[in-house]
Amino acid sequence: MVVKQSVEVAIIGGGSTGLMTAYYLAREGVKDIHIFEGRYLGFGSTGRCAGGVRASFASDVHVKLMKESISRWLSLREEISGLEFVQDGYLWLLTTEELVEVHKKLSAYQNSLGVPTRILERDEIRDMVPIELNDILAALYDPMAGKASPLKFLWSVRRKLRELGVAIHEYTPVTNVRVSGGRARSITINESKDVEVGGHVVVAAGVWCKDILERIGVKIPLKKDPHHLLVTEKYVQFIKPLVIHKETGSYIVQHETGSLLIGTEFPVPEEDTTLRYGYLRKAVTIMSRYFPQILSTNLLRVWIGYYEVTPDHHPIVGVIPHLENLVVATGFSGHGYMMAPIIGEELKNIILEGKPKLPETRELRLERFEEGKLLKESAVFG
Amino acid sequence: MGDRRIRSHPILEFKRGREITIFFEGEPLRAFEGESLAAAIYAAGIDVFRLSPTLKRPRAVFCMVGKCGSCMVRVNGIPTRSCITPAEDGMRVERINDLPEASKYEKRLVSEEITTDVLIVGGGPAGMASAEVLCNTDLNVVLVDDQIRLGGQLIKQTHIFFGSKELFAGRRGFEIAEEYSSKLSKCSNMRIISGATVVGVFKEGVLAVSDEAKYLIRPKYVVIATGAYENHLVFENNDLPGVMGAGGAQTLMNVWGVKPGNEVLVVGSGNVGLIISYQLLQAGAEVKAVVEALPRIGGWFVHAAKIRRYGVPILTSHTILGVNGTRRVEEAVIARVDENWNVVGGTERFVKVDTVLLAVGLTPNTELVRQFGAATRYIPDLGGLVPLKTPYMETSVENVFVAGDLAAIEEATTAFIEGWIAGYSILIKARGEREEYLTKRENLLRMLYEYRSAPVSEKIRRSWQLSLLPCGGVNA
C-alpha cells in the first residue's frame, strides 16, 4: 500500500497495544488512522507471548488496571468475531511452606481489591487439572484470570480494523520522528519518506520504543529481557487454567486450539539470543514432573521474545513531556498483551480527551523516573 | 477388506521380517516385524486411519515419510506417525478421531552428548555421498537419518539409471542404497543414527531425537541434506484416502511391497509421474491415465514411451477437478484446460479409480538450514525457498554445507555429486588444500556442469546463478 503524504493518526508498532489503540479510536469515529509495523503484525512481543490474562498482581496499579482490562477482554470477544478469551483461571503451584504463607497474604490483599483468588488444597488442585502432585503443598487459584490466543487475537483484530477502515502498513519501519515547536510533525518511514501527521503519533513499538525516542533525545529507562517459549502440536485440551510453578518461574498453558505453550525462567544476555537447549531441558523437566503427558507431545518450535522491563516493573504510558501530540505506551515488563485493551482505550482517551480516565493510568507517566517517584508493590509479602 | 500385499514382482524381492500380529481397533492383523506400521495397516485393506479433528473427514497415508501427519494413529496409547514407526508384535493401534490426546508417557529417553568433526543430516543420496568421501578419513562423522532404512528416496527407486558408469548407469536406486548402506556401516570413523530426527539448532549443540534417545551433537562441520517434500494440489476432496503423493505410493509399493490401489489416476507427467505409472503396472495395478496440465509431457521420452506401450493414455492439457467417494476415492473428475490453464467447459469426464497419485513437484526442506541462520532466497525454478551457497556448497554460515534437493529440486545423480563436493570441501577446510582433494572437487564441479547441460535441466541452468554466493569466503 502506498502511504499518503499526510495522515491524521500514526501508530508506530503493529502489536497488541497499537492494534487496540487503533480499535478504540476507530470505534469513536476517528478517521485516517495508520498503523506502521516494521515487519508483520505481532512480530514483536505479541506474537511471541503465551497469552495469559490476569488481575492477580501485587500492586494497586496493576490490579486495578487489569480488572478494567479483563472487563474489556470480555466485551472484545463479543465485539470482534474470532477473538478468543477464555476465563479458565490461573493456578500457581506452591512447593514450600514459605511460598504458601506469602500467597495466603497475597490472596487476602487481592481479595481486598475485588480479585477473588483463593488457596487450594492438594485434592482441590487435582480436581482442577490432571496433575501428579509430587511436592506441591497448595496452590493459589485465580478464577478471574484467563487466556487469549495471541494468534487468534492478531487475525481477528486485523480483520476488524480493516472493516473499520484503519490502514495497516506492514514491512514499513518507522526510523525517525521529526519534532519542532513542541509537536511531532512527521514520521520517517523506510529511512526515506516523510509522512506528515496532523493529529497524534503513538509510539507502541515494545522494546524498540527506546531506539525511536532516543533519536529525538527522549531518554526512556527500558531494558530488553529475552524469554524463551515453546509450542507443541495440537492435543485434546487437558489443562484448562494457565499453570505456574512458582518456585522456578515455569508455566504451561493450553489454548483452545490445542497447542501447549511452556515457558520457564532462563536468563540469557540481551546481546546473544541464540536459542538455548538448557531452556528446553529445564522447561520440560520441571513441567513433566507434574504433567508427564507432555512427554508424549511433539515439539513444534522454540523462540525468544522480549519483555521490555522498566526499573519499577510498571509500564510507561502517556504524553512525552513537552511534545503535546507524541504519546508512548511501553515498558509493560511482560504484561503488555494482557493490558492492551485497557491501555488502548486509555490512549484513545489521551488523544481525544487530553487525559486518561483512570487515576492509575496517570501514575504511569514517564516523568516518574526522573522525579524518583517509582511505583511500588503495594505490600511486601514475605 | 482385502490383502494389498504384492505377491510377485518382476524386479523386487521383498525381504519381510518375522510374521507378527498387531491389533487395529481391537482386530488382529497380520504384519511383519520391522516394516512400516502404516504399510502393515494399509496392506490389510484399511482405508481410514483417522478422522480430521474438526470436520471429521477420513484421512489415510499420504507422504509415507513422516512429514504430513495424515497417518497419525494411537499406538499403545501414544499418538504416533505410523508410517515411520516399525511394526512390533502385539502393538495396539487405534484411530484418532479428534485431536490426539497427550497421554502419560513412562518411557525415559537416554541422553547422549556427542562431539564430532562432521555432522551429516539426512541419509539420502546427498548425505550418503558426503559420508562416502569422509569414510575412513581421520575426521569423526555422525550421520543422522529419520527413516527406518538409509537411502532417502533411492530405496523406492526401481528404474535403471542412465548415463555414465561413475554415475551408476545400469543400476537401480534401491541397489545403490543397499550398497551404500552396507559400505558406510563399515567405515571406522562413522556413526550412523537411524530413526532420529534433527529437530533443533541450539547454542549448546544440534538436537536429534529418536524413540529411544536424545542426542546433543556438537559438530565442527555440518552437511545438511534434508531433501524435499512432495507438493499437494488443490482440488475438491483432495484429502480423501486414496489421494497420495507419488513418492508416498512408491514407498508403499517398492519398499514395503504393498499395492497403493488397483485403478489409478496419476497427476503430473514429469519423470516421477511417468516412472510411478510404470511401477504401478509392474505391481499389478491398472493405470487409467496420466493427466498433465501443460500441453506437452514433462519427463523423459523413454519413460513416456514405456507406459504408452502398455496402453496408458497420457492426457496433456488436462487437469483433475476433484474426486468423489465416501471412505476412499471412488472416482476422479478430469477436464481439458486451455493454454491459460482455464478449464474448458463441457470437457469434464468421470474416471472410475480408487487411487489418485500426485506427482506435481517438490518443495525443498529448508527448516533446518534456516535454523542454522543461513541466508535463503525464493527461486521458483529451483523449487521455492532455497539456501544460498558457494559453488562448493557452503552456505552463508561458515562450515555449514548443503547438498541435494534442499539446495534445488533436481535428481539423485546431482544430489550425489553435490554431496561429494560438500565432502571434499570439508576435507579441504579441515586438512588443507591437498592437490588430490582439489583435483577431485574440480572434476566433480565439471561433472555437475556437464550433467546439467541436458535439456531437462533447463530450469536449473537458468536460475542456478541466483542461488550462488561469492566463493571468496571459502577456504579453497
Q: Which pLDDT band holds residue A321 (cuts at 50, 70, 90)?
A: very high
Q: Which residues of A touch B98 (CB under 8 A)?
A: 236
Residue B193 has pLDDT above 90, yes or no: yes
Q: How close B70 gets to chain A, by Cα (Å)?
A: 14
Residue B245 has pLDDT above 60, yes or no: yes
Of B100, B104, B202, the CB nearest to A292: B104
DSSP assignment string, B356-403:
EEE---EEE--HHHHHTT--EEEEGGGTEEEE-B-TTSBBSSTTEEE-
Work out whether the CA dihedral B39, B131, B399, B407 comes out positive or negative.
negative
The pLDDT tens digits for B313-363 are 999 999 999 999 999 999 999 999 999 989 999 999 999 999 999 999 999
Span between the terminal Cα atoms of chain A, in Å: 55
Give chain B's mean pLDDT.
93
Interface test with A, best of B202, B212, B216, B218 (most A CBs within 10 A): B202
SS3 A56: coil
Residue B472 has pLDDT above 60, yes or no: no
Interface test with A, best of B98, B101, B197 (most A CBs within 10 A): B101
The pLDDT tens digits for A257-283 are 999 999 999 999 998 999 999 999 999
**Structure confidence at residue B476 (pLDDT):** 38
SS3 B226: coil
The pLDDT tens digits for A142-188 are 999 999 999 999 999 999 999 999 999 999 999 999 999 999 999 99
Residue A378 has pLDDT above 70, yes or no: no
CA A319/CA B251 separation, integer angstroms: 64
Q: At what angle do helices B301-309 and B271-282 cross, to 10 degrees?
A: 30
- Report the share of chain A in percent with pLDDT over 90: 95
Give chain A's mean pLDDT.
95
For A215-231, give one letter per residue: b (16+ CB within 10 A) or e: eeebebbbebbbbbbbb
Q: Tell me: ipTM over 0.85.
A: yes
Residue A379 has pLDDT above 60, yes or no: no
DSSP assignment string, A259-286:
EEEEE------TT-----HHHHHHHHHH
> Distance of alpha carbon B239 from its chain centroid, rounded?
20
CATH 3.40.1380.10 fits A224-309, yes or no: no
The pLDDT tens digits for A58-77 are 999 999 999 999 999 999 99
| A349: Cβ contacts below 8 Å, ≥ 6 apart | A355, A356, A357
A25-39, A165-179, B454-468: least confident range: B454-468
Structural domains for chain B: 19-94 (3.10.20.440), 110-229+363-473 (3.50.50.60), 243-362 (3.50.50.60)
Mean pLDDT of A192-216: 95
C-beta separation of B282 from B10 below 8 A: yes
Q: Does A256 touch chain B (CB under 8 A)?
A: no
Domain boundaries of chain A, sorted by first residue: 6-49+151-222+312-370, 90-120+133-143, 224-309
The pLDDT tens digits for A94-113 are 999 999 999 999 999 999 99
Q: Which pLDDT band holds residue B475 (cuts at 50, 70, 90)?
A: very low
Q: Which residues of B touch A280 (CB under 8 A)?
A: 200, 202, 207
CA A149/CA A83 separation, integer angstroms: 8
The pLDDT tens digits for B263-308 are 999 999 999 999 999 999 999 999 999 999 999 999 888 999 999 9
Q: Which residues of B touch A260 (CB under 8 A)?
A: 102
Closest by Cα among B284, B295, B294, B245 to B266: B245
Residue A380 has pLDDT above 60, yes or no: no
**Structure confidence at residue A1 (pLDDT):** 65
The pLDDT tens digits for B92-135 are 999 999 998 888 777 788 999 999 999 999 999 999 999 999 99
Q: Does A267 touch chain B (CB under 8 A)?
A: no
**Structure confidence at residue B66 (pLDDT):** 87
CA B136/CA B126 separation, integer angstroms: 18
List the CATH code of the domain at A6-49+151-222+312-370. 3.50.50.60
Q: Which pLDDT band holds residue B474 (cuts at 50, 70, 90)?
A: very low
Quick check: do A6-49+151-222+312-370 and A224-309 share a fold? no
Mean pLDDT of B206-227: 96
**Structure confidence at residue A381 (pLDDT):** 57
Of B99, B107, B204, the CB nearest to A235: B99
The pLDDT tens digits for B4-41 are 999 888 888 888 999 999 999 999 999 999 999 999 99
The pLDDT tens digits for B226-240 are 999 999 999 999 999
Q: At what angle do helices B412-431 and B435-451 cross, to 10 degrees?
A: 160
Nearest-by-CA chain A residue for B100: A235
Closest by Cα among A317, A301, A323, A296 to A362: A317
Residue A347 has pLDDT above 60, yes or no: yes
CA A331/CA A204 separation, integer angstroms: 10
C-beta separation of A202 from A218 below 8 A: no
Interface of A with B in 187-246 (CB under 8 A): 233-236, 238
Interface of A with B in 286-345 (CB under 8 A): 292-299, 302
Of A274, A278, A296, the CB nearest to B103: A296
C-beta separation of B384 from B204 below 8 A: no
> Distance of alpha carbon B428 from its chain centroid, rounded?
30
